[in-house]
Amino acid sequence: MTKKKILIINGPNLNLLGKREPEIYGNQNFEDYFKTLKKQFPRLNLKYFQSNHEGALLNKLHEVGFSYNGVVLNGGAFTHTSIAIADAIAAITTPVIEVHISNVHAREAFRHHSFFSKHCAGIIVGMGLTGYELALRFWDRKTPTSAF
Ligand code: DQA
């Protein structure tokens, strides 16, 4: 059986996970966490991409967005600012799950609005790095739910 192709995309400043505001984002860097995810989901073909550049994130969504089975996207601060990325999520056919490590709704008001959510298959916030794992479980399940 061919494995489902899933890309995890992290946006700006998420390359600093483990060093950046650990009281909010934790102590683990994403590269290490990604290794554990790959072991945890042997039935998925998992790839990882991170960029601090809006255009690079757009290009990556365009590149995978008509062939991959899923995208897990933490757009970082672009979530709250980027109509261009929201348009890309709407344009592609691959379902996107929006993930935020922190509970954005318990933080500053400017973090409460996401331009992406409307176009996403689902949203996971405030579960720490476990949020990525929960998103991957959606594609790892054996029996599809009726909605997708
Ligand atoms: C974040 C929340 C955003 O508001 C913030 O700009 C980030 C990280 C999160 O994962 O909690 O960079 O997306």
Residue nearest to atom 8 of ligand 1 (CA): 76
Band of residue 55 on the pLDDT scale cut at 50, 70, 90:
very high
Distance between start and end Cα atoms, the chain = 20
d(CA 78, CA 12): 8
The answer to whether 25 is a known catalytic residue is: yes
User: pLDDT for 92-146, tens place per residue?
Assistant: 999 999 999 999 999 999 999 999 999 999 999 999 999 999 999 999 986 665 5
- Asked whether 136 lines ligand 1 (CB < 6 A), one says no
Of 25, 33, 48, 132, which is the active-site residue? 25
53 is catalytic: no
**How far apart are alpha carbons 34 and 40 in whole angstroms?**
10
Q: Can you say whether the dihedral through the CA atoms of 12, 18, 22, 24 is positive or negative? A: positive
Tell me the fold of 1-13+55-142: Rossmann fold (3.40.50)
148, pLDDT greater than 60: no
pTM as predicted: 0.95
pLDDT higher at 141 or 27? 27
Q: Residues 79-91: what's their mean pLDDT?
A: 98
- How remote is the CA of residue 131 from the centroid of ligand 1, in Å? 12
Retrieve residue 103's tokens.
């509970």
Which atom of ligand 1 is nearest the CA belonging to 111?
Answer: 4
